[in-house]
Amino acid sequence: MQGIKFWVGLLCFIFFGSPAYALEITTAPHVPPFISRILPETVVVKFEAREFVGALADGKQYRFWSFNGTVPGPMIRVRLGDTVEFHLTNHADSQFPHNIDIHAVNGPGGGAAVSLVAPGEEKIFRFKTLHPGLYIYQCASPIPSIPAHVANGMYGLLLVEPKHGFPRVDHEFYVFESEFYTQESAEQVLSEPKAEKKPIEPEKMEEKIEPISGKKEGFLDSFVNTFFGNSSESPEQDKNYTQKDLPDTSVKPSFDEPADSLWADKKYVLEFSLEKGLKEQPDYVVFNGRQGALLRQNALRVKVGEKVRIFFGNIGPNGISSFHIIGEIFDQVYLEGAVNGVINRNVQTTLVPSSGATIVEFTIDVPGDYLLVDHSIFRIDKGAIGLISAVGDDNPEIFESIK
């Protein structure tokens, strides 16, 4: 009987191919696992377009458009030769139609031409991966305009591994740079009443994440706090943090409250400013969708001597990124995200064009904190800054302070 099942299965594979299976996708900064299979298969990816209000910076809420409710959208990892069956639904509460343009697709609009989907509906298309590399995907809906969909948060990364895969490393991270052009909308966000702040619960205090080095505030801590406030005041964030955590606005103030009441400090949800976009004047330039997404408790954590690979994307929508890690040198850079193409070595800063990507690899030799920045340096003030914290033994042969 087992022999009959084997031959039936083999004939089905020959005539019908392998069955499609749902692909694991991850949210930034997490990367899907390495692909161990050696043959191409049919894989299924499911996205939902969602419009929501979430945190862009401390005290600032923004009206995002997204894939799967995160900015950037999930990271997809497939193999050269795979057939991808892509499902795109649009949440019923969406105001606009959305689609997806995947730069790895050879076909009209990168899939955008066949995936424009109205609220509450679904579109499905299929494509084969013909070129290895790291590719951007984005929304390209013409309603109200392509730039609006891109500027509001609809983008992410798709990795097509080469035939024989990537060499293994100790850590892989997903980092994405983007700009936000903002103005106040008519929607008000009510501040939480100061008198109703809840005391910190003892069990929550025990969960506090201490600085990885165990040291007092140093130069980099002070540097970060200069722009983004004291880290001791930041709430702990889970590694699966999304931008959908909103302040409680269930309590509504009465309209006849005095001007100096607890609710007097009015804040408004931010939305996309076309005027600032046309002038190329972003208010925020951030990594992974918001200011501080890679700082403090959200810092990337490694050990000395471990090899690190970062999949880095830049959507713009306008700016070119000068990606740099202060205190590190990239051992290898896959130029413009191309695999089996040009690999640069010993690189200090690499340019990533708007709607482009790169892959960088390096090993940290000395313990400490290392800043990820866009070295168009004033963008740090707008949020283009992250942190890698490395622990391990000192290495005085490579670096030491002598006075």
Per-residue b or e along 334-350, where b marks 16 or more CB atoms closer than 10 Å to that residue's CB: bbbbbbeeeeeeebeeb
Quick one: fold of 20-165? Immunoglobulin-like (2.60.40)
Give the β-pairing of 307-316 and 171-180: parallel
CB atoms within 10 A of CB 305: 13
pLDDT tens track of the chain, all 403 residues? 555 544 544 454 454 455 688 999 999 999 999 999 999 999 999 999 999 999 999 999 999 999 999 999 999 999 999 999 999 999 999 999 999 999 999 999 999 999 999 999 999 999 999 999 999 999 999 999 999 999 999 999 999 999 999 999 999 999 999 999 999 999 888 654 444 444 444 344 333 434 444 444 455 555 566 555 554 444 344 434 344 443 333 333 333 434 344 444 678 999 999 999 999 999 999 999 999 999 999 999 999 999 999 999 999 999 999 999 999 999 999 999 999 888 999 999 999 999 999 999 999 999 999 999 999 999 999 999 999 999 999 999 999 999 9
- What pLDDT, in 10s, does the model give residues 20-66? 889 999 999 999 999 999 999 999 999 999 999 999 999 999 999 99
Task: Write the DSSP assignment of 225-266 as a string of letters.
Answer: HHHH--GGGSPP--TT--TT------SPPPTT--TTSTT-S-
> Is the whole model's pTM more than 0.75, yes or no?
yes
Query: How far is residue 8's CA from residue 185's CA, in Å, rounded to a whole number?
Result: 62
299 neighbors 387 (Cβ within 8 angstroms): yes
Residue 56: is it exposed, middle or buried by C-beta count within 10 angstroms (0-12/13-18/19+)?
A: buried
What is the side-by-side order of every strand in the sheet holding 321-326? 300-303, 385-391, 368-374, 321-326, 349-352
Query: How far is residue 261's CA from residue 206's CA, in Å, rounded to a whole number?
Result: 35
